[in-house]
Amino acid sequence: MASALSRVLAVLRTAAVAAALSLPAAFAAGPAPAQDAAVQAAQDMAGQPDGAKQTVLALDQDGGGADNPAAGTPGPANRLFVQALQLIRQADNTYDVAEEGRLLKEADKLFNDIVTKYPDSPLAVQLVTNQFVGDFDFYEFRSRIRALVCNDQLNSLCFLHRIGEMLPPVETPINAARWDWLSLAVAYQQLGDTGRAKEIMAPFVSAVRRGGVADSSGQDLFVARALSLMGQSPLALDITRQINDCSTRIYNLADIAKAAAWRGDSGLTNALADEAKSYASSHNCAWELGLVAQTLLRAGKEAQARTLFLNTVETQFSKFKETRGDCCPPELAVAAADIGEPKLALGLLSTVQDENPWTIPAVLGRLAKRGEAGMAVAYADQVADIDTRGEAYAELIEAAMKRGEPAVANDLMNRLNKLTDEAAGRRPGLLAQRAKAEKAFYNDDRWRRTFQLAINAAEKASNFVRRDIGAPLLAALVRIETGLPMLD
């Protein structure tokens, strides 16, 4: 909610503009009562800020879509604008939150009517381009409209709004990967606000189509991944099949297949698994074969997945012995857990976790789901990074609940609670993982207050933390609300 000072300023601004815009309408009415009203409006305006006077001058000069500009008669666009400002003034003067929201939404409808019904009017142009009209800031008003979702502070759309307010703004023209904003689009799509999702997503898709991003391992990867999660598989594949880089191409195919499997589209999942395998073979892709094995397994092709995995592991270890360089790609550790090779999975994990900490909860969660909870818990307890250990505990809690082991889940919940208590509310990512675990453990809405604490902590954190926390918060929220991850 706005501060008291900003609320007072909003009242004064809106009153000034509304009074100024009422002036030509009053003179145009003709009869004495209307003239009296115009005199009163003129007297009122004499004490108003210069911004309101500039508004009326500007609208008089261009007519605001006037029927008779020479006579100073306000046009229909002007009349709607004045009505909208009057509604905003009423909203600023009420203490009733529901009434404030209703009035602001009515004003917003009038602004939309100006744009759709009178698109040629100067007012419509100013609104569409977020220009000031006098001292009325339409961009600020739209932000205020979006913030109405926080009249209920514990609802998920409010959480999305607050996270979005923390994200660093997108630079235009778009030329860099922004998984945080694309995650926000996915979250809005998953939570039912498809209009807001499309509004965020469209500029990124346009940038890829224009070839505005040359780095195949950057923007193209993230845009296609986000599209696949939003159910736009054909468009995601269209982007993906124009990419010739092994890593990006295989990652995209694997993620589109994963999203298809979540939607129950077995035909597309199978086709993409075969396509990923064929592309990897024909283009001599090596480090991406762990992803191909995971995709084959997801498509039900377990024999092919296991053969490919074992051959890849043998090849990677042979190269490691020869070169003494990096051992193995992190995707192989995840694939080992998926296939059911716990000792190999943990061995591979120990070699890749420092550079790829995301593999820790990914591998341990998969092992726990396959009944290897003891090994997974023992490994998680040794993880040094608090946030990563908390995420691992959250994954293990969900796995224990799915396996019908509430005692194991309760023990892990106590460990996670101890971590968050020791952090004293200063780790937003850890609080988000606790919220995720509470959803899995209790299966009710008590997670909402914990998630609210996570956002509160993020808003109070340093700029460095705020810059990076958006995507993890969004991933946790989507997981809570849909039961599905945002992707590794």
pLDDT in tens, 389-403: 999 999 999 999 999
SS3 for 485? coil
Element counts in the chain: helices (H) and strands (E): 25, 2
Query: Using alpha carbons only, how large is the chain's radius of gyration in Å?
Result: 28
Backbone angles phi, psi at 461, to 5 degrees: -80, 175
Backbone angles phi, psi at 133, to 5 degrees: -115, 105
CB distance 119 to 173 below 8 Å: no
Backbone angles phi, psi at 132, to 5 degrees: -70, 145
Of 317, 314, 315, 251, nearest in space to 280 by CA: 251
Integer Cα distance of 459 and 128 in angstroms? 30
Residue type, 358: W
pLDDT in tens, 139-191: 889 889 888 999 889 999 999 999 999 999 998 888 777 899 999 999 999 99
Residue type, 195: G
**Helices 406-423, 428-442: inter-axial angle, 10-degree rounding:** 160
pLDDT in tens, 215-264: 544 446 689 999 999 999 999 999 999 988 899 999 999 999 999 999 99
pLDDT band, residue 75 (cuts 50/70/90): confident
Q: Is the dihedral of CA 4, 99, 143, 12 positive or negative?
A: negative
